[in-house]
Structure 1
Amino acid sequence: MASTLADVPQASGRLPIVGHSLAMLRDPLTYIESLRTYGHLVRIDVGRTELLFALSIEALDDVLRNKAADFGQGRFMHRAEPLIPNSMLLVDGEEHIDRRRHAQQHLRRDAFRAVTERHVNLVQQHMSSWTDRQWIDVLEETLTIALRTVLHVTLGRQFPLVREIEFRRVFGKTLHLISRRVMIPTWADKLPLPVNRSFERGSNYLTTFITQEARRSLDEEQNSGIMKRIVQEYGEEKIGTAISDTIAMIMGGTETLASGISWVLYHLGKAPEIQSNVWAEIHETIGDRPPSFDDIDKMPLLAQVIRESLRLYSAPILARTCIRETVITGVRVPAGTSVFLSPYATSRNPQFFDRPTDFLPDRWSVDEKATRLAFIPFGAGRRKCPGEHLAMLELPLFVAAILQKWRLVLDPTVPVRPTFAVTVRPNQLRMVVRKR
C-alpha cells in the first residue's frame, strides 16, 4: 500500500509564514544540494505552499518518464507568465505535445547545417573588436554572441546596435528576476515590491520589442526565421501564440548558450594544459579556416570538455505539477502538488560520479554511460528542452572559433562562483585574451 505525503520527511529549518523561502533565497544551489540526504523525496514550503523535491534517480524516473502523463508544467514556472503568456512552456496535454513538435522540427541538428557558417561569422565579427592582452567580461561577451545567434535563428534578422544593447540589458535583468520570483511565496506576486515592478516593466518591454520585430520578419520575403515558419503553420490568427513561443525560445536558448560557453571558457582558463590540448585538437582538425558543421564530430576532446562543463552546471530546477493523483516511489501524491527536481544537484551527487565537484573531462573519454537520469542538462521526457540540438551544435562551434584565435587567461583576483538563475551562471567572469 502506498504511503502518503505525511510520511515524507520535511526539510529542517522551516520558519512560520515564509517556510523555507529564506534558506533558498540565501544560497539556493547549496540548499538544494543539501536536500539529497533525505532520500527519495522531501517536503519543503515556499511561503505557505508545500512542494515535493524529487531527489533520487527512482523519483526522477517516475516524474519524468514512468508517470510523465500525470504531470504538467510546474505552477512555479507560471511566475514567468507575464513574459511568455500561453507559451508552449506553460500549456499541458496534447496542446503542449503538438506545439513542442512544431518547434522541434525546426530545431533539428540537420536543420542548422545551412546557417552554421553565418553563426560562426557572427562570433568572428564580434571577436574582431578584441585586442591582445585585453580584459573581457566573459558574461557580457557570451550573452552578446548568444543573443545575436538566437535572434537570427528565431526572427531571421539582426538589429541596430543601439536596440540590441538595450534589449540585452533588459533581457538579462528580467531573466534574473524570474529566478528570484520562483523563491518567494505566490501571494507576494501582487504586492508592490521592487522585484515585481521591475519584472513587469521588463516583461512589457521585451514583449513589445519581440512583437514589433516579429511582425517585421513576417513582411520580409526572404526571412527564414523559425518565427515566420511557425506562423505559416499556425495561421495568421495565431500570431500571438507564435510570438509567445518565440519569446520562450529566445529566453531559453540565449541563457543556455551564454552560460554554457562561459563555463567552458572558465574551466579552460583554470586548466591551461587542457586548454592547450583542446587548441591542438582544433588546430589539427580545422587549421586556419572557420569551423564548420562537419567538424563538430571530429573533436572528441572538445566534446568531453563541453559535456563535463554541462554536468557541473546543469539546470538548477525543473518544476512540475501533478494534474491527477499519482504515485512517486511508493508515495501517493494528490493532484495539484508541486514537484521540483534539480539536474544540478543530481549530477553532483557522489553516488553517481567520482569526485563530483571536480572538472574531469577524461571521465567521458571511454564513452562512459552515466547512471540513467544522473546527467540531464537539458531535462528529460516529454518536456525535455527542444533546443538541445541547437545548443550542442553551437557550443563546440563557438568555443572552437574563440580558441582558434585566442588563448584565455583567468583573472585570479576575481572569485567565480555559480549563481541561481534560469540556468546556473557565473556570478562574474573576467579573462584576458591573448592572440595566438
Structure 2
Amino acid sequence: MGTEMNSTNYTQFNVPTPEEEQHRLEALRIYEILNTEPEPVFDDLTKLAAQIANVKMAAIGFLDADILWLKSKTGIQQNSIPREHSFCSYAIMQPGLFEVEDASKDERFQNFPTVKNEPFIKFYAGIPLITPEGYAIGTFCIMDTEPKRLSPELAQALKILAHQVMTHLELRRHWKALAKAFENQKKTEQALKKSESFYLSLVENLPQNIFRKDIDGKFSFANQQFCKLLGKPLDEIIGKTDYDLYPKELADKFRADDAKILETLTPIDTIEENINSDGSKSYVHVIKTPILSQDGKPIGIQGIFWDVTKRILTEQELAKERNLLRALLDYSPDRIYFKDKDSRFILCSKTVVSGLGLKSAEEAIGKSDFDFFTEEHAKPAYEDEQEIIRTGIPKIGIVEKETWIDGKETWALTTKM
C-alpha cells in the first residue's frame, strides 16, 4: 500500500496539499472541466474500470480548492465531496498508484463520512491525473465496500485508463485552443478584409496614381487612376513590367530607381521633369518606398505619383516675377516701396534705403514715415495711404514737401496705389 507523500503542507482539516498548490489549481482551470455535463467518453471508462476490477464504484474526480468534483461516476450518488473528506487529496501527492486496502482500519480515513456512512467505502485505489507539466489535477479511482488489494495486472490497467482520461483532456484542450485560434484567425481575416476594403476604397478615390510591383518588377496592383493614365484595364497591367508599358528609356530609368530602392531600402521622393511630344515640359511628383516582409527583407516596390505641372509652372512664374521685382528695386533710380495696411515698410528699393540714410532695407522694415519725417509730412502721408487702402483709388503725380527730422526739406513727385 503506497502512502508516501512529497509534501508536509496540510489544510486546516489536516489534509495534505502539494507545495505548488496555486499552480496546480491554475493548471486545472486550463482544462475547463469543472461543473461540466456528463460525457459518454468518460462514463464508459469508469464503467469499464468497475467491471474489470470487479468493484462496486469507480470515478473520475478533479480536485478543486475545497471540493473533489466528480466528472464521471458509477455506483456513487454524490456529485462532489468536500476536499477534507476525499481520498483524492492523498492520491495526488504521489505519481503512481495510491491504494487503501481497508479504510475502516486506517486512522486517516476511518472517520470519513463516505467510510462511516453510505456508500461505506473500505477499499480505494487511485491513479493521479497528471498534466504534461507535472501537476496532479485529479484522480481515476475505483472503490469497494469490501477490503481488497489490486493485482499488478489490475494496477496496470487502472494506469492505462487514467492515461486515457488525460489523453482525452489534452486532445480536447488542444482542440479548444485550435478552435479559438481558428476563431481568432477568422476575426483577423475579417478585420483584414475590412482594412483592405477601406484601403481599396481610399486608393480608388484618390486623384493620385498608385501602384505596387513585386521583387521582379511586375505590377501586382494599380488603382483606377493609374489604369486611366495608361489607358489600359487592370488585367492588362497586372503581371506586366515597365518595359511592357513605357518606352525603353523611361522603363530603364524606372527600373534603375527601383533597384536603388531595393538595394538601399531608402524611399525616393522627387519631382521629375518630362518632355512631352509637343516639346512642352510636364512635372510629376513621385514617391516610391520599399515593401518589406515580416523579417525585414525587400519583396517589392510601392509608389504614388501625381501631376504637379501647374504648380511648378506657377512657382517658376512667381520666381521670375520676384526676380524682376528685385531687379527693379535694386537698379531703378526712383524710390519704390511697399507698405502694409498700417503704413509700415515691408519692402523698399536701394534708393529708398539710401534716401532714408540707412545701411540696408532690413532697417526700414516695420517702421513708418513717423520714424524718418516730421509730423508735418508724416501725418498727411499716412492719411493719404489710409484713404487709398480704404477706397482703392490711387493718388498719381502728387507733389509732396518732405520735412525730415533733422530739419532738411525736400520735394518729391509721388504716385501711390
Settle same-fold status: TM greater than 0.5.
no
Structure ID, larger Rg: 2
Higher strand share: 2
TM-score normalised to structure 1 length: 0.15
TM-score normalised to structure 2 length: 0.16
